């Protein structure tokens, strides 16, 4: 979750506008990425364990965009969806909060939810680049881009931002 839109979340929002499937925003918090995707014509299932965060998200979305927004209270690792359900999964600073084995199982779920043509958009402050690459590749993803950037609201903290697709 992010207090402002960062470059990775903007890429997610732009990607959602051309898809016929819903996108998934896990740990959406205040819904900055979700709101950006809806504003660009995307359809989003926003998930967060905090009901108040989801209520705040709904309150900030213009009425004409609400039909493209679905909400679900939940969190990893308990979430599950059918295969090929989403065009994109966005998990911004979420996976590092999980036990490494649970994070790996979550990446495997993302692959199943996205296969064959969806894209993964993740950021994490806690993994080293080699470990992150290995985890994504072992879950079946091909990394399209990986960048290291300072957070717009906290230049002392850096994150890895990754866009990945499902390997054929």
The band of 2, judged by pLDDT with boundaries at 50, 70 and 90, is low
Taking only the tens place, the pLDDT of each residue in 63-93 is: 999 999 999 999 999 999 999 999 999 999 8
pLDDT mean over 123-132: 81
In a domain, 126, yes or no: yes
**3-state secondary structure (DSSP) of residue 98:** coil
The band of 167, judged by pLDDT with boundaries at 50, 70 and 90, is confident
* pTM to 2 decimal places: 0.93
Boundaries of domain holding 62: 7-166
Provide the CATH number for the domain around residue 33: 3.40.50.150
In a domain, 39, yes or no: yes
In a domain, 144, yes or no: yes
pLDDT mean over 4-27: 92
The predicted pLDDT at position 3 comes to 67
Count CB atoms within 10 A of the CB of residue 98: 15
Beta strands (DSSP E) in 1-131 are 23-26, 44-48, 69-73, 88-92, 119-124
The predicted pLDDT at position 126 comes to 57
The predicted pLDDT at position 128 comes to 80
In a domain, 137, yes or no: yes
In a domain, 109, yes or no: yes
Q: Rounded distance, CA 157 to CA 53, Å?
A: 23
In a domain, 1, yes or no: no
The band of 28, judged by pLDDT with boundaries at 50, 70 and 90, is very high
Q: Tokens for 165?
A: 């697709």
Q: Which of 20, 58, 62 is nearest to 42 (CA)?
A: 20
- 27-36, 61-70, 145-154: range with lowest mean pLDDT: 145-154
The band of 116, judged by pLDDT with boundaries at 50, 70 and 90, is very high
In a domain, 155, yes or no: yes
Mean pLDDT of all residues belonging to the chain: 92
In a domain, 44, yes or no: yes
pLDDT exceeds cutoff 80 at 50:
yes
> How many domains does the chain divide into?
1
């Amino acid at each position: 979750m992010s207090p402002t839109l960062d470059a990775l979340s903007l890429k997610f929002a732009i990607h959602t506008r051309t898809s016929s499937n819903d996108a998934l925003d896990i740990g959406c918090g205040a819904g900055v990425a979700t709101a950006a995707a809806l504003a660009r014509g995307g359809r989003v299932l926003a998930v967060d364990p905090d009901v108040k965060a989801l209520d705040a998200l709904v309150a900030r979305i213009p009425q004409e965009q609400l039909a493209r927004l679905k909400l679900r209270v939940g969190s990893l690792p308990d979430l599950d969806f059918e295969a090929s359900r989403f065009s994109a999964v966005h998990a911004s600073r979420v996976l590092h909060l999980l036990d490494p084995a649970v994070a790996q199982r979550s990446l495997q779920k993302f692959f199943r939810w996205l296969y064959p043509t969806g894209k993964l958009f993740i950021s994490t402050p806690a993994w080293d680049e080699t470990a992150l690459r290995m985890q994504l590749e072992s879950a079946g993803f091909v990394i399209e881009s990986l960048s290291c950037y300072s957070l717009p609201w906290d230049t002392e903290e850096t994150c890895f931002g990754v866009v990945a697709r499902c390997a054929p």
